[in-house]
Chains A and B, each alone.
Chain A
């Protein structure tokens, strides 16, 4: 069972470069999320999506963009990398059962990004 797959696992960027963090899930989940986790801290929500074609901002969206063209994929784009974006990025997905959306989120193993 693949679940949520994130690529790459590690990346070093120079200030001002851009890159896309990939996230794909094979569970046919409607909801997908991007979080970042700074050292010693909890996760903070960057963006989320409730389905293909629909995205919205979370707590810390500045400096990031997302798209959701398919149910499976939810890439995160950094346009002008800054040192403050050095972090571990986690993607998650969640299904929905009937009219009660209490299904848990399932996480990928993360992308460790350093901006130098």
Chain B
């Protein structure tokens, strides 16, 4: 199973871009990279996912390196409400066609005023 490595914590100034790195050096060719976040006491919130190409949606951008061994989640203009734990997850295929998400400890992002 591909594992991910993230820094335990990061700080960012309000209004600036937050760049959250993730290493997934053992990722397989058909595995997607997913990003979720968890704001205190709430359920994990889906942010974005990608396979090879860079992706952008209304919440964030995902940059995946050409060798797919690492990725970066970019929050272009961080706000105080973006303070949360961010999880980088490689989707693990499971027998029977199901899947499970393996959550590590993530990165605690603190956005400062």
Tell me the A residues contacting B by CB distance below 8 Å: 4, 31, 33, 35, 40-45, 48, 50, 56, 58-59, 90, 92, 94, 101-102, 104-110
Contacts and interface: CB of A to CB of B under 8 A. Distances in A.
B32 A58 contact: no
A45 B102 CA distance: 8
Contacts of B44: 43, 90, 92, 107
Contact of B45 (A94, A107, A110): A107
Size range of the interface on B?
20 to 34
A48 B100 contact: yes
Interface of B: 32, 34, 41-46, 49, 51, 87, 91, 96-106
A42 B105 contact: yes
- Is chain A's interface secondary structure helix, strand, loop, or mixed overall? strand
A42 B103 contact: yes
B49 to A, nearest CB: 6
A105 B46 contact: yes
